[in-house]
Amino acid sequence: MKIALVGCGAAGSVFAGYLRKGGADITLVDMYKEHMDKIAKDGLDFIIYPDTKYHLDGFKTAYNADNIGTMDIVIFITKATQLDGAVQTAMPCIGDNTVVCSLINGLGNDDILLKYFPGNRILVGSGALGTALQGPGCCVSTEVEGTLVHFGAIENGPLTDAAGKHLQELFNAGGCRAEFNEDDRPNIWKKVIINCTVNTVCALLRLKIYQVAEDPWGMELYRGVVREACAIATAKGVPFDPVEFENTHLKNFIDNMGDYYPSMAQDMLFNYRQTEIDVLNGKLCEYGKQFGIPTPVNDVLTVMVKAIQGNYDKQYLK
């Protein structure tokens, strides 16, 4: 199957590395010209933290989807806030039988795809690994135990089943433990809760994941996000117990990914970018209002992130 991957930042480049390592016929689409040109000319240096290195060739690259032809699968790994626009610009490579797939962090990506495509042509999921882009043509994956990428169909059918099984085979062949599930909502919510917890708290405290966990007040913030998020997931039909979540999923993430600044921390501390707060903690707050579930911790964290990202140019720098 012909695959286009739209959005080749840190996460997109890492996913592309695993897919190409697994033998994918893949075209990378991104406006980052220097990155695309480097991969087209010299290939991709793909590092699995700390020091396993691969050099991968055979990618096709483009700055947009206008002339890459019709694809069998189009994977979106942009920022969540960019997904709607990315879908519109990717339309030239999407045919009547193309399956579209979001592997983007956050909530609401399925709703955006459903604006444009029927459910029996949509896969949604996410990854459970750390990603970084060291420069044009070089990306780093930090793996955790267990499944690294998971996805499922909004509506199962011949197209989504074939595409999902193909992606699962490619990822696994490339060394990325992948699962294609009929109902992937538990995995999506698990990743969302982890992201809302470590991404936002680390970004605001300016600490790595393990450093927050070692501080009793930092751990209390982690715990508060988990408590509220589990209540909302349960109300949405995906039950989680907050104590069990903390002692299993969160603990495993801290143990395996502790020495890492998560993506929102990278956005705020190093790159001064707009974050995905609206589709993470902000979306939890929105759902909390719908279900009458108080979200005081997430309310404050959301407002703080928005205030900071709206004033990067005015912040005190040492």
Say which CATH number the domain at 38 has.
Answer: 3.40.50.720
Nearby residues of 26 by Cβ (< 8 Å), 6 or more positions away: 3, 4, 5, 16, 19, 20, 59, 60
Considering the domain architecture, whether residues 96 and 40 belong to the same structural domain is answered as: yes
Residue 315 covered by a domain? no
Residue 316 covered by a domain? no
Instruction: Write out the two tokens for 259.
Output: 């020495």
Where in the sequence is the domain holding 197, given as residue range(s)?
186-310
Considering the domain architecture, whether residues 157 and 21 belong to the same structural domain is answered as: yes
Residue 182 predicted with pLDDT over 90: no
The strand pairing partners of 76, in sequence order, are: 6, 102
Decide which of 183, 204, 229 is a domain's last residue: 183
Residue 16 covered by a domain? yes
How far apart, in Å, are the Cα atoms of 31 and each of 65, 201, 274, 305? 10, 30, 18, 27
Decide which of 134, 155, 183 is a domain's last residue: 183
Considering the domain architecture, whether residues 149 and 212 belong to the same structural domain is answered as: no
Residue 269 predicted with pLDDT over 80: yes
- The pLDDT score that the predictor gives to residue 216 is 98
- The pLDDT score that the predictor gives to residue 130 is 85
303 compared with 191, residue with greater pLDDT: 303
Q: What is the mean pLDDT of residues 201-214?
A: 98
Residue 155 covered by a domain? yes
Q: What is the mean pLDDT of residues 221-239?
A: 97
Q: CA nearest 56: which of 69, 43, 67?
A: 43
How far apart, in Å, are the Cα atoms of 150 and each of 25, 111, 146, 173, 219? 20, 18, 11, 15, 27
Considering the domain architecture, whether residues 164 and 275 belong to the same structural domain is answered as: no
Say which CATH number the domain at 287 has.
Answer: 1.10.1040.10
Decide which of 183, 202, 218 is a domain's last residue: 183
Residue 88 covered by a domain? yes
Considering the domain architecture, whether residues 60 and 93 belong to the same structural domain is answered as: yes
154 compared with 182, residue with greater pLDDT: 154
Q: Work out how many domains the chain is built from and give that number.
A: 2
Task: Give the Cα separation of 127 and 150 in Å (integer).
Answer: 6
Considering the domain architecture, whether residues 154 and 288 belong to the same structural domain is answered as: no
Task: Give the Cα separation of 151 and 168 in Å (integer).
Answer: 9
228 compared with 81, residue with greater pLDDT: 228
Report how far apart the first and last C-alpha atoms of the chain are (Å, whole number).
51
Considering the domain architecture, whether residues 96 and 240 belong to the same structural domain is answered as: no
Q: Across all residues in the chain, what is the average pLDDT? A: 95
Q: What is the mean pLDDT of residues 133-156?
A: 93
Instruction: Write out the two tokens for 29.
Output: 């689409």
Considering the domain architecture, whether residues 106 and 208 belong to the same structural domain is answered as: no
Residue 317 covered by a domain? no
Considering the domain architecture, whether residues 157 and 293 belong to the same structural domain is answered as: no
**pLDDT band, very low/low/confident/very high, at 318 (cuts 50, 70, 90):** confident
Considering the domain architecture, whether residues 157 and 219 belong to the same structural domain is answered as: no
pLDDT digits (tens, 9 = 90+) for 44-91: 999 999 999 999 999 999 999 999 999 999 999 998 889 999 999 999
Q: What is the mean pLDDT of residues 203-227?
A: 98
Considering the domain architecture, whether residues 73 and 46 belong to the same structural domain is answered as: yes
Considering the domain architecture, whether residues 172 and 193 belong to the same structural domain is answered as: no
